[in-house]
């Protein structure tokens, strides 16, 4: 994992190890027999962890960093077209739920 993750709680980093291993497998030039390469959706998660650790190192409060990390992992950085459509539809404008 990137060194910045050392600024995060150990149990969070341990949970992120699976992401790191998946990223390592997906980007390895050669894999041992029996290991199958699949699509890697974990690369952004590893970067999110590293960025969170970097923010802690720079002095951001851990509580705020972890809240932002949670939102990132729930898709807070990636626009959700369905949610955008629901928010901008006629029904949303008229208060229909």
Q: What is the pLDDT along the chain (97 residues), one digit of tens a residue?
A: 678 888 888 888 877 666 667 667 777 778 788 877 665 555 567 788 889 999 999 999 999 999 998 888 777 766 656 556 665 666 555 655 5
- Residues found in the chain: 97
- SS3 call for 53: helix
Going from the C-alpha of 50 to that of each of 35, 71, 79, 86, the distances in angstroms are 26, 15, 21, 33
Q: Is 62 exposed, middle or buried (0-12, 13-18, 19+ CB in 10 A)?
A: middle
- In this prediction, residue 60 carries a pLDDT of 94
- In this prediction, residue 55 carries a pLDDT of 94
pTM: 0.57
């Amino acid at each position: 994992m990137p060194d910045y993750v050392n600024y995060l709680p150990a149990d969070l980093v341990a949970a992120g190890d699976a992401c790191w291993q998946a990223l390592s497998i997906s980007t390895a030039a050669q894999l041992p027999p029996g290991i199958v390469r699949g699509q890697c959706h974990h690369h952004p998660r590893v970067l999110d962890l590293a960025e969170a650790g970097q923010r802690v190192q720079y002095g951001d409060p851990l509580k705020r960093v972890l809240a932002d990390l949670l939102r990132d992992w729930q898709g807070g950085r990636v626009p959700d077209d369905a949610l955008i459509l629901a928010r901008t539809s006629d029904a949303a404008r008229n208060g229909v739920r």
